[in-house]
């Protein structure tokens, strides 16, 4: 049993055991042994280059802690690589063990002139060879990654020159005969083609939205117009998503300059907004904004235009470098960790024939793309804009960017019809517990419905309100300012429709409801299933409906993400950061934190990954008293080193016997003399607060896509002068599945649902649990059987809609 796996495999083969079972055993254990020994004897160098971005720390942590190999840090980016000496730090666990809440990068970042010259790259190669490093991980923007690929392409020639100059031996040259490079895009601009989000972008959006929300209150008080300039260089992503997330009146981005008569159009738009009762105007300007002739459009130009033509009290705010700073968001922390682990796997699996790749995000999937393909497409965008081929530049930015732009144009530039005689009547409602982002989804749904010429009704208090007739018509201004508001403005209840079919049917007839958009959590999903069953008894229920998942628990089958979950995660992370900080200067301390989620462990797991938890107890991964004992002993060992803080998360329903109090008492007793313990139950604060930029943007696009689907489905179901929809695909959940937003019939999702515990039977995030344990310094195996394979950017861009 204790023999070496290869020896056992060799013995089996020598013995002539060729049975299928034996061969499976051999293959399984050889793969296991290969995974266990993948990193032995290899060294990885990590550098951060270019502008700093929040979340780079987590990418470093995902590398430094994820393998049993030497991880080298480079102080000052490529400059540290060139200079060598004290600028080379041996990567240790302690270097990144407390870096989760920090922005910037502990190993320094810089733009390096020396590396642009061959002499500088020669010195860098010499430093790597002398340290036996043949794997390089570069975290930076397109310039940094282009430099990395140039370095790799010259590697053989650089070694030859070094050997000729007598600086390295033939043996050293042979050992370092090839250089593997993997890139990670760390940039707040999100200007690198091939990835939906770069590390740091979401955190920058957090900083921007915090300021926009603060400015909104003062703008309303004084009836002012604010022009806000955001970063992004020649990419308008930050400006575009900010405009969607705050409901801005106008956005200027370099990829799509405004029409020649934009001044008149802008002024008309602002005055129409005031006429409808709004007390403020918000205009977002990307720093690289231009007109169709390439002339810069500055925030001062826009201010002067508004003051001269409309006489509005107008202010300019240039946000500047505040967008680069601050604490990384939960999204960036998790993204950095996931991408860091994937980058390590890509390096360890690399061969001399493996092209340099970049690890990127496509929807919810980590993918590997050829580095230079991405760099080339990024350069093609710049060239297209320089050549005034703006439509092509938009397409090259990718589907995510295009989707954002299309939704923005609909909500900001298309005038709602002023004539009566609506095409169809669609009702919108919230069901279940409140979640941040619900209001943004309602706003988007209502306004897209109005733009399409529909009559849109809003239902108060969920299915109960639908039964009682708590229904009213919503106009354009009804949902004004809803994007950034938390909770549910319509009111929401957990009541299911089954007991009120008769009253609901009567009100569907009374208000001539022809379609239903249900925004909510697990109750919205089960309510949809009940409506499908009710169609057998009531023809009035034979209308199309779509469920938009919105719950902090993220437990709706058919979707990887739910509206509201990101806001809850950020609340938990911020609270954990503050709780750990509260113990600064005291003796060693462990915090036990209880999170919400019902039986779903999404919040506990992802918050644990983002906040750097030592353990996260969840229902989906059963644990025993022995597991608890092992966790306590592990934490005791860590606390005997330089570690002074411990964090343990517990999902509220992970185990009926091992309660939060039980775990707190266990840690308190076993940690006596080494650390003391504190507990915190976060409670309903996880459901409150303003929605994050991710939830606002996600909800807005989900609402728009749901209403577009609804309009098509109503037309499809029109028969004999009435709507009659009784097919399975007329009642769907709109969900994010890996790389695409897809509509799935609720009846098809029944088999994928654990109704007793209100969770999907399979959940994608469970595969991230080993990363959490590895980063907490547990000795466990990482499943390497499922990982990203090298794709091509052209194939990725031809895929389905991503977020």
Binding residues for beta-D-fructose 2,6-bisphosphate: 494, 551-555, 589, 596-598, 652, 678, 684-687, 758
C-alpha span between 177 and 765 (Å, rounded): 39
Cβ–Cβ under 8 Å, residues 228 and 317: yes
Pair type for strands 250-252 and 70-74: unpaired
Residue in the structure block whose two tokens are 């506990």: 604
Annotated binding site for substrate: 187-189, 224, 231-233, 287, 315, 321-324
Sequence-distant (≥ 6) Cβ neighbours of residue 610 within 8 angstroms: 58, 100, 330, 333, 334, 337, 569, 573
Burial class for 90, CB neighbours closer than 10 Å (0-12, 13-18, 19+): exposed
The tokens describing 49, both together, are 């280059």
Pick from 362, 437, 426: nearest CA to 797: 362
Annotated binding site: 51, 111-112, 141-144, 187-189, 224, 231-233, 287, 315, 321-324, 494, 551-555, 589, 596-598, 652, 678, 684-687, 758
C-alpha span between 220 and 278 (Å, rounded): 8
Pick from 295, 311, 315: nearest CA to 303: 315
Q: How many helices (H) and strands (E) does the chain have?
A: 28, 27
Q: What is the CA radius of gyration of the chain?
A: 28
Q: Catalytic annotation on 261?
A: no
For 488, list phi and psi in degrees, rounded to 5.
Answer: -130, 110
The answer to whether the Cα torsion of 565, 570, 571, 573 is positive or negative is positive
Cβ–Cβ under 8 Å, residues 283 and 228: yes
Pick from 607, 486, 501: nearest CA to 550: 486
Burial class for 77, CB neighbours closer than 10 Å (0-12, 13-18, 19+): buried
C-alpha span between 431 and 650 (Å, rounded): 27
Annotated binding site for ATP: 51, 111-112, 141-144
Catalytic residue among 52, 83, 149, 189: 189
C-alpha span between 124 and 115 (Å, rounded): 8
Cβ–Cβ under 8 Å, residues 484 and 696: yes
Beta strands in 639-697 (DSSP E): 645-651, 676-681
User: How many other C-beta atoms lie within 10 A of the C-beta of residue 408?
Assistant: 21
Residue in the structure block whose two tokens are 């004897």: 41
C-alpha span between 226 and 91 (Å, rounded): 46
Residue in the structure block whose two tokens are 């254990």: 29
Residue in the structure block whose two tokens are 């775990």: 663
Helix, strand, or coil (residue 122):
helix
Residue in the structure block whose two tokens are 């606390």: 639
Annotated binding site for Mg(2+): 142
Which active-site residues does the annotation give?
189
């Amino acid at each position: 049993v204790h023999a070496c796996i290869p020896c056992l495999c060799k013995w089996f083969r020598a013995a002539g055991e060729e049975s299928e079972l034996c061969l499976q055993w051999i293959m399984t254990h050889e793969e296991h042994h290969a995974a266990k020994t993948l990193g032995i004897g290899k060294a990885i160098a990590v550098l951060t280059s270019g502008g700093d971005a929040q979340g780079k720390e987590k990418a470093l942590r995902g590398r430094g802690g994820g393998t049993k190999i030497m991880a080298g840090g480079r102080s000052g980016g490529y400059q540290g690589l060139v200079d060598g000496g004290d600028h080379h730090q041996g990567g240790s666990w302690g270097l990144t063990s407390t870096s989760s809440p920090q922005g910037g990068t502990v190993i320094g970042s810089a733009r390096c002139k020396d590396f642009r010259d061959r002499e500088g790259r020669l010195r860098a190669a010499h430093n790597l060879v002398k340290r036996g490093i043949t794997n390089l991980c570069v975290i930076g923007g397109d310039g940094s990654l282009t430099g990395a690929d140039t370095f790799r392409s010259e590697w053989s020639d650089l070694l030859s020159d070094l050997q000729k100059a007598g600086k390295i031996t033939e043996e050293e040259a042979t050992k370092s005969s090839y250089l593997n490079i993997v890139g990670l895009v760390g940039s707040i601009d999100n200007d690198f083609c091939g990835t939906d989000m770069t590390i740091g972008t979401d955190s920058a959006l957090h900083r921007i939205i915090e300021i926009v929300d603060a400015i909104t209150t003062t703008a309303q008080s004084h009836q002012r117009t604010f022009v806000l300039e955001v970063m992004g260089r020649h990419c308008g992503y930050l400006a575009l998503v900010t405009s969607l997330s705050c409901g801005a009146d106008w956005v200027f981005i370099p990829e799509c300059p405004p029409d020649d008569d934009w001044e008149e159009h802008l002024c008309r738009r602002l005055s129409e907004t005031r006429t409808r009762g709004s007390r403020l105007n918000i205009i977002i300007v990307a720093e690289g904004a231009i007109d169709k002739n390439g002339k810069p459009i500055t925030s001062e130009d826009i201010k002067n235009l508004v003051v001269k033509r409309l006489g509005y009290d107008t202010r300019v705010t240039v946000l500047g470098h505040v967008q680069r700073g601050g604490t990384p968001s939960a999204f960036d922390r998790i993204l950095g960790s996931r991408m860091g682990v994937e980058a390590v796997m890509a390096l360890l699996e690399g061969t001399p024939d493996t092209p340099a790749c970049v690890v990127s995000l496509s929807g919810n999937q980590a993918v590997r793309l050829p580095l230079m393909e991405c760099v080339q497409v990024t350069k093609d965008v710049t060239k297209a804009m320089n050549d005034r081929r703006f439509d092509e530049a938009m397409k090259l930015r990718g589907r995510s960017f295009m989707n954002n732009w299309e939704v923005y144009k609909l909500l900001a530039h298309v005038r709602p019809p002023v004539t009566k005689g609506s095409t169809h009547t669609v009702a919108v409602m919230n069901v279940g517990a409140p979640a941040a982002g619900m209001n943004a989804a309602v706003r988007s749904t209502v306004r897209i419905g109005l733009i399409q010429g529909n009559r849109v009704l809003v239902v108060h208090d969920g299915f109960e309100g639908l039964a009682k007739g708590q229904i009213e018509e919503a106009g354009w201004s009804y949902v004004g300012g809803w994007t950034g508001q938390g909770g549910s403005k319509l009111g929401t209840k957990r009541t299911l429709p089954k007991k009120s079919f008769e009253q609901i049917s009567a009100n569907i007839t009374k208000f001539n409801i022809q379609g239903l958009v249900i925004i909510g959590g697990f109750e919205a999903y089960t309510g949809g299933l009940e409506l499908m069953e009710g169609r057998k008894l009531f023809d009035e229920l034979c209308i199309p409906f779509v469920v938009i998942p919105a719950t902090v628990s993220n437990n709706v089958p058919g979707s990887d993400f739910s509206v509201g979950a990101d806001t809850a995660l950020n609340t938990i992370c911020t609270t954990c950061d503050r709780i750990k900080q509260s113990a600064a200067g005291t003796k060693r301390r462990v915090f036990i934190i209880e999170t919400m989620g019902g039986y779903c462990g999404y919040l506990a797991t992802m918050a644990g990954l983002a906040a750097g938890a030592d353990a996260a107890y969840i229902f989906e991964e059963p644990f025993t008293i022995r597991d608890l004992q092992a966790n306590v002993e592990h934490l005791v060992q860590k606390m005997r080193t330089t570690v002074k803080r411990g964090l343990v998360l517990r999902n509220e329903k992970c185990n009926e016997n091992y309660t939060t109090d039980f775990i707190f008492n266990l840690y308190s007793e076993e940690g006596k003399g080494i650390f003391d313990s504190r507990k915190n139950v976060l409670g309903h604060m996880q459901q409150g607060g303003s929605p994050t930029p991710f939830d606002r943007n996600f909800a807005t696009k989900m609402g728009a896509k749901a209403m577009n689907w609804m309009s098509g489905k109503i037309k499809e179901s029109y028969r004999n002068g009435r709507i009659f929809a009784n097919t399975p695909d007329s009642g769907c959940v709109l969900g994010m599945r890996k790389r695409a937003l897809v509509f799935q019939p609720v009846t098809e999702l029944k088999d994928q649902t654990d109704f007793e515990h209100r969770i999907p039977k399979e959940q994608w995030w469970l595969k991230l649990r080993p990363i959490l344990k590895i980063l907490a310094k547990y000795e466990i195996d990482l499943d390497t059987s499922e990982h990203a394979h090298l794709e091509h950017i052209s194939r990725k861009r031809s895929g389905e809609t991503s977020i």
